[in-house]
């Protein structure tokens, strides 16, 4: 039994590797015309766009509802079909959106809208991804501002985009690869520590941070016969981030994220799965150990203090072992898995209303991750270790409003 499972895993890994090295223009080409032509959002009519460039582009091209109010099923399906995202991570992200920032089934990819209600009163509207600080949206994002630095933390800030863009020589063959993005994370984190008195790296949304940095090189790259494993160059990056104009004269237009013409996604036989994401995060953490420091500023800039990870996890992890092997990936996933229970204890979501099939799904994915990465067992955690961080406390209050 164990042997046949191992054989299956090896065969799937070989298929995935071979598929990532072959290119099929017909299957991988993504239409940007006809039903899928770009139509800019109509904000005065209530269309919603928010912090995620990929979801914004999917709505702009009609791969999911153009008004930006989506069910978790349609958004997961669109991410799988258009970007080659793995089913596991697509469903987890989409269900999280619906659970924390929507009504359990639907969510807004932007702000509040009367189309997503959590109760009978017109005032019971869900917050949407734009207002999801520390349950989804976090500090030190690639191109978005920290919440306590700018009011509108869901908008792109050109200064950060240009810093990212300038990380790569225009003609470099490798383009914007995963190392470029995680180096940018290191710089963005330092920038937050030096400018945001309330900077906080929240354990519950580390997976969203990992995705925010790995998804561009892994999922927005263009594929071709010459580069079947995909390359992300400047023009494609600009298009997905709603930036236009020549170097030195870049302009950002809110909500205008576009899938580029003649863009070819990764092969669906080699989807980017949760395990791929966790492996990328582990590799990045080994390369840049600072990015695994959990903690935050204590109310003043440049006052970064480590959280007591030992107390937080009842000894399952400590600051030193967090840097070893796959431990940081395990830690990030286990806190992601714990987030619904944590938010329920605080009364932010009513777990009884949550679809039980999701919980079964989350358990199955968790079992697979723990076994494959040989994770330490996290039986309990105590957020008292986070209470000294004003960024953590503020976000809880924000979420309560």
Q: Which residues bind ligand HEM (CB under 6 A)?
A: 51-55, 75-76, 79, 83, 85, 93-94, 97, 129, 132, 136-138, 141-144, 208-209, 212, 215-216, 219-220
Q: Toward ligand HEM, which CB reaches closer, 220 or 312?
A: 220
Q: Toward ligand HEM, which CB reaches closer, 252 or 325?
A: 252
Q: Toward ligand HEM, which CB reaches closer, 71 or 118?
A: 71
**108 by DSSP, 3-state: which?**
strand
Exposed / middle / buried, residue 76 (Cβ in 10 Å: 0-12, 13-18, 19+): buried
Checking 68-71 for CB contacts under 8 A at 24+ apart, the result is 68/41, 68/108, 68/109, 68/110, 69/106, 69/107, 69/108, 69/109, 69/113, 69/115, 69/116, 70/106, 70/107, 70/109, 71/98, 71/105, 71/106
User: CA dist 39 to 222, 257, 274, 288, 378, Å?
Assistant: 22, 10, 31, 40, 46
Q: How far is the CB of 46 from ligand HEM (least distance, A)?
A: 20
Phi, psi dihedral angles at 315 (to 5 degrees): 85, -5
Q: Toward ligand HEM, which CB reaches closer, 163 or 383?
A: 163
Inter-residue contact 84 to 76 (CB < 8 Å): no
Q: How far is the CB of 4 from ligand HEM (least distance, A)?
A: 32
Q: How far is the CB of 209 from ligand HEM (least distance, A)?
A: 5
Q: Toward ligand HEM, which CB reaches closer, 47 or 137?
A: 137
Q: How far is the CB of 179 from ligand HEM (least distance, A)?
A: 16
Q: How far is the CB of 384 from ligand HEM (least distance, A)?
A: 25
Q: How far is the CB of 31 from ligand HEM (least distance, A)?
A: 17
Could you tell me if residue 46 is left (phi over 0), alpha (psi between -120 and 50 degrees) or otherwise beta?
left
User: CA dist 108 to 13, 102, 232, 248, 316, Å?
Assistant: 36, 7, 28, 34, 36
Inter-residue contact 294 to 307 (CB < 8 Å): yes
**132 by DSSP, 3-state: which?**
coil
Q: Toward ligand HEM, which CB reaches closer, 113 or 375?
A: 113
Whole-angstrom distance, CA of residue 96 vs CA of residue 397: 20
Q: How far is the CB of 320 from ligand HEM (least distance, A)?
A: 27
Q: How far is the CB of 326 from ligand HEM (least distance, A)?
A: 22
Q: Toward ligand HEM, which CB reaches closer, 54 or 291?
A: 54
Chain centroid to CA 374: how far? 23
Q: Toward ligand HEM, which CB reaches closer, 67 or 375?
A: 67
């Amino acid at each position: 039994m164990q042997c046949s499972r191992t054989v299956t895993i090896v065969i799937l890994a070989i298929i995935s590797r071979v598929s990532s090295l072959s290119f099929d223009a017909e299957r991988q080409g993504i239409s940007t015309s006809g039903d899928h032509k770009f139509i800019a959002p109509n904000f005065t009519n209530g269309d919603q766009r928010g912090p995620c460039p990929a979801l914004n582009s999917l709505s702009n091209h009609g791969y999911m509802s153009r008004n930006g109010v989506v069910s978790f099923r349609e958004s997961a399906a669109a991410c799988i079909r258009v970007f080659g995202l793995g089913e596991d991570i697509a469903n987890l992200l989409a269900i999280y959106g619906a659970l924390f920032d929507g009504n359990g089934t639907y969510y807004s990819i932007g702000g509040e809208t009367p189309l997503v209600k959590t109760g009978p009163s017109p005032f019971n509207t869900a917050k949407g991804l734009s207002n999801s600080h520390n349950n989804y949206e976090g500090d030190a994002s690639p191109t978005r501002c920290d919440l306590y630095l700018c009011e509108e933390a869901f908008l792109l800030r050109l200064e950060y985009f240009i810093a990212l863009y300038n990380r790569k020589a225009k003609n470099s063959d490798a383009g914007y690869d995963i190392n470029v993005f995680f180096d940018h994370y290191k710089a963005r984190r330092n920038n937050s520590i030096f400018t945001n008195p309330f900077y906080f790296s929240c354990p519950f949304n580390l997976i969203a941070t990992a995705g925010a940095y790995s998804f561009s090189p892994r999922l927005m790259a263009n594929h071709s016969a010459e580069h079947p494993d995909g390359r992300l160059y400047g023009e494609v990056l600009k298009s997905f981030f709603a930036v236009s104009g020549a170097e030195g004269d870049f302009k950002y237009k809110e909500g205008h994220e576009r899938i580029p013409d003649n863009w070819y996604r990764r092969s669906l036989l080699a989807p980017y799965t949760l395990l791929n994401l966790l492996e990328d995060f582990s590799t990045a953490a080994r390369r840049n150990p600072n990015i695994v420091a959990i903690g935050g500023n204590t109310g003043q800039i440049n006052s970064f203090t480590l959280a007591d990870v030992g107390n937080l996890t009842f000894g399952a992890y400590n600051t030193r072992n967090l840097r070893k092997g796959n431990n940081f990936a395990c830690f990030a996933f286990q806190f992601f898995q714990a987030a619904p229970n944590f938010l329920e204890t605080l009364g932010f979501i009513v777990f009884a209303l949550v679809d039980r099939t999701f919980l079964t799904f989350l358990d199955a994915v968790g079992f697979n991750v723990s076994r494959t990465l040989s994770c330490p067992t996290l039986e309990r955690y105590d957020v008292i270790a986070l209470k000294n961080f004003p960024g953590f406390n503020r976000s809880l209050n924000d979420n309560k409003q």
